[in-house]
Amino acid sequence: MRRISYTSPCKKSTLIYLLACVIAAGIITGAVYQARLSPSPSAMIHQYSAPVYGCPVAGYTIKGFLMNALLLFITFVLGFFALGQPFGLLLLFYKGFGTGAAAAILYSSYGTKALAKVMLLALPKAIGLYAVFILAVRELIRASGYTLACWYGNECSDEKSPALKLYILKYLVLVFIAMLISACDAAANLLFVRLS
């Protein structure tokens, strides 16, 4: 049985680097937006990437996990649409935007003392979630590319179709990993608050 790849003709590592560049663009844009316009912190913007003191750690963790699970569900659903790829890229940009805004919030609140908070609290969570969302969007691109190929009548056969069960299983694993990242983030925040 031969393995069939549904990713675009470029290598998988090239695709991952391109997706990482979309996140980096979002980080820069989010940081500039928050630093220049200084809007009040919004959970819809920072997506619970910034440690929120005064908010119970359990609430922060649950809300952050639910936000990530919702975004992963949206990514999963977009994989069924032929034109879902640009929306997957927008979702990655949004994730980066939230982290950039969160870092800017911490820097504006704590000044140079925020460097430790960003490095110890925000960065590990962000890197883990970026890996999860890059894999999710890669799967979205595969599934969406297959749907688009079927629209044009190219390579639309049962043996090449991405198995729905495998597609669902991959997303369930990604949601589980996001849950573990949220739990580790909560433990790190709780430890940091107690040590501070």
- Please tell me the pTM assigned to this model: 0.84
Cite the DSSP H helix spans in 111-163: 114-117, 123-151
Q: Is the pLDDT of residue 52 over 70?
A: no
Mean model confidence pLDDT for the chain: 83
Q: What are the tens digits of pLDDT across the range 160-177?
A: 555 778 888 999 999 999
Please check the confidence at residue 108 and state whether its pLDDT lies above 90.
Answer: no
Given phi > 0 = left and psi -120 to 50 = alpha, else beta, which region is 87?
Answer: alpha
If you search the block for the tokens 């119970």, which residue do you land on? 56
**Residue of 93, 165, 179 whose CA lies nearest to 134:** 93
Question: With 90 as the cut, is the pLDDT of residue 130 above it?
Answer: yes
Q: What are the residue ranges spanned by the domains of the chain? A: 12-42+56-195
CB 102 within 8 A of CB 49: yes
Q: Which residues of 50-67 are buried (b: 16+ CB within 10 A; e: fewer)?
A: bbbeeeebeebbebbbeb
pLDDT interval class at 13 (50, 70, 90): confident
Query: With 50 as the cut, is the pLDDT of residue 1 above it?
Result: no
Distance CA 142, CA 68 (A): 21
Dist CA 184 CA 99 (whole Å): 17
What are the strands, taking DSSP E only, across the chain? Answer: none
Tell me the per-residue pLDDT of 133-152, one tens digit each, with 9 for 90 and over.
Answer: 999 999 999 888 877 777 77
Distance between alpha carbon 36 and the CA centroid of its chain, in Å? Answer: 24
Pairwise CA distance, residues 95 & 107, whole Å = 19
Q: What is the pLDDT of residue 81?
A: 86
